[in-house]
Amino acid sequence: MATVDVTVMGAGVFGLSVAYACARRGAKVRVIDPNGVASGASGGVVGALAPHVPEQWNAKKAFQFESLLMQADFWAGVTELSGLPTGYARNGRLQPLADEAAVALARARALTAEEHWGDVAVWEVVPWADAPWMPPSPAGFVVRDTLTALVHPRQATKALAAALGVMGAEIASVGDPLGKVVWATGWRGLEDMTAQHARLVGNGVKGQGALLRFDAVGLPQLFAETLHIVPHFDGTVAIGSTSEREFNDPFKTDDLLETKIAHARAVFPVLADAPVIERWAGVRPRSRSRAPMLGAHPFRSGEFVANGGFKIGFGMAPKVGEVMADLVLDGRDTVPEDFKPERSL
């Protein structure tokens, strides 16, 4: 590529979404990642696009809400360009309620959901039904929300990279960072920033998940007892995930995952005989502020950072791409104050 307007370092969902937003605005884009597309946390198996609870509303929740509403058009555009499936579907989610206090709290949240979500999605308390695809509920009620969606992380990230290729972007393992430079290098990038600072900027949190062969296409996600059960478009169901602040091998699965699988089979007997077809481990980038880090790079003058997606990176990605393109291409700062890198320093 003779001329490069923007170089994005990192081919995970944040980096590719920034590149995609810039390319759609006519910029000539290069993405560089020595490990290839979806080699980190974005190459996982779970893919839950779930909102925060609709209470104590703040800038982070508002940003995530807007990004979740962008998802359908975003991934449809990616598929149209690339010809590849992303696994996006907005089938909602069911969550059990443990007791009367939980039911009362969930009903209060239904009112705040109506206030903040308007008529585009519903959070409601409904009676538990005796059906195979239903979380157990001691209180006899479950929360049903229609905002939660899903995507197949690995398929979606590869489709996004392919769409960039169709638009003329270059994706390489090595190369010079030319033009405007955006660092979207995940947990290793957070470690690098910490090494240049007097205290922790961010860290990696390992997650392990599993993919089971079970056809629940079109059914809602289930969430119970810290388990995410996510039915994908290809006749698989993902179980996730562990959350490990300390680990020796970032990419090795172990007994923690086996315990998670056994727990899922016990809580959801419908999965008891479903074969495990893949076990996966990776590390998600968590900033010290727990919010994404978007803006001017604190240690690289004139360059930018997009990092810290942690567990909601895919849910945030479409809007992250847009606000970073505003900043990088137009010099227009639309990043929420809570997401500015200095908040994590």
Rounded to whole angstroms, how far apart are CA atoms 273 and 282?
Answer: 26
Q: What does DSSP assign to residue 178?
A: -
Predicted structure pTM score: 0.96
Report whether 282 contacts 210 (CB < 8 A).
no
125 CB-near residues (< 8 Å, 6+ apart): 97, 103, 106, 107, 110, 141, 142, 143, 144
Statement: 6-91+148-199+288-344 belongs to CATH 3.50.50.60: yes
Is pLDDT of 100 > 90?
yes
Asked if residues 177 and 8 have their Cβ atoms less than 8 Å apart, the reply is no
Task: Write out pLDDT tens, residues 277-335.
Answer: 999 999 999 999 999 999 999 999 999 999 999 999 999 999 999 999 999 999 999 99
Token pair recorded at residue 140: 């006899």
* Gap between the Cα atoms of 17 and 25, Å rounded: 13
**Exposed e or buried b for every residue in 238-276, given b needs 16+ CB within 10 A?**
bbbbbebeebeeeeebeebbeebbeebbebbebbeebee
Q: What is the pLDDT of residue 306?
A: 98
- Between the CA of residue 108 and those of 55, 223, 255, what are the distances in Å? 9, 19, 39
Read off the pLDDT of residues 202-219 as tens digits, 9 standing for 90 and up.
Answer: 999 999 999 999 999 999
Residue 328, both tokens: 């990088």
Is the CB of residue 21 less than 8 Å from the CB of residue 322? yes
Q: Is 212 exposed, middle or buried (0-12, 13-18, 19+ CB in 10 A)?
A: buried
pLDDT category at 5 given cuts 50, 70, 90 is very high
CB 259 within 8 A of CB 273: no
CA distance 98 to 120: 27
Distance CA 114, CA 94 (A): 18
Find out whether 345 and 197 touch, Cβ atoms under 8 Å: yes
Looking at residue 1, what is its pLDDT? Answer: 56
85 HSE (CA, 13 A, CB side):
9
Give the pLDDT confidence score for residue 72 in this predicted structure: 98
DSSP 85: -
Q: What is the pLDDT of residue 57?
A: 94
